[in-house]
Amino acid sequence: MKKVYTAIILIVLLCGGVLSANYIFLQRHMNEVLKEDPRNDGISVWVYYKWFVNSSEINYDLRSVSAENSSLDVSRVMLQFAEKVKDYDFSKVYLSYRGKDKFYLKGEYFKTLGQEYGIQNPVYTLRTIPENVYMLNGERAYSVWEGGLLGVMGKQMEDLSDFSKAWYLDDFIKSMSD
């Protein structure tokens, strides 16, 4: 019986350690992002290591968005979080909505987003996000556009809108009608 109690205690301690590491290294930074900017009110995001233990990959899990928030608010929160963890190295950042993986960004690109936040032109950053988004099977989710500036910008903004819909907006709208 003593071995059973010891095993249970070890399992509880291990689970507590895993959850603590996820909070200390990731979620704590997200909580700061959400609290520091009043424009982030109404948005809830959980950030954790893939499977809670794979520290080379993270899940950026958008849990909820209020009807008062825009897709730009959601993107800004992601960029602010990237800035908070810009010194971390990840191989992939999975973009999830309510626990379901939808897309991923390469870790190197996510790091660049964090390093350039506050420096790079925000319109440029936003319009080029979709060309750096990958489907879960590893294929690019959106094209890399070339050509005249106005035509390229128009297509990039269409892709940004489509990306938001595919990531969370379609599911959000569906949940409001349920």
pLDDT tens for each residue of 22-37 = 676 789 999 999 999 9
How many structural domains is the chain composed of?
Answer: 1
Match 């991923």 to its residue by tokens.
104
**Pairing between β-strand 100-106 and β-strand 92-97 as defined by DSSP bridges:** antiparallel
pLDDT in tens, 111-160: 999 999 999 888 899 999 999 999 999 999 998 888 887 888 889 999 99
High-pLDDT (> 90) share of the chain, %:
65
Match 């992002």 to its residue by tokens.
33
Q: How many of the other CB atoms lie within 10 Å of CB of 167?
A: 22
**Residue 39: pLDDT over 70:** yes
In this prediction, residue 6 has a pLDDT band, given cuts at 50, 70 and 90, of confident
User: CB of 167 within 8 A of CB of 136?
Assistant: no
**Residue 13: pLDDT over 80:** no
Residue 173: domain span:
2-177
Q: Supply 130's token pair.
A: 């979709």
Mean pLDDT taken over the chain = 90
Query: What pLDDT shows up at residue 150?
Result: 81
In this prediction, residue 54 has a pLDDT band, given cuts at 50, 70 and 90, of low
Query: What pLDDT shows up at residue 17?
Result: 66
| pLDDT (mean) for 105-110 | 98
Give backbone dihedrals phi and psi of 108, rounded to 5 degrees, phi first: -60, -40
**Residue 42: pLDDT over 90:** yes
Query: What pLDDT shows up at residue 103?
Result: 98
| pLDDT (mean) for 90-105 | 97
**Residue 12: pLDDT over 80:** no
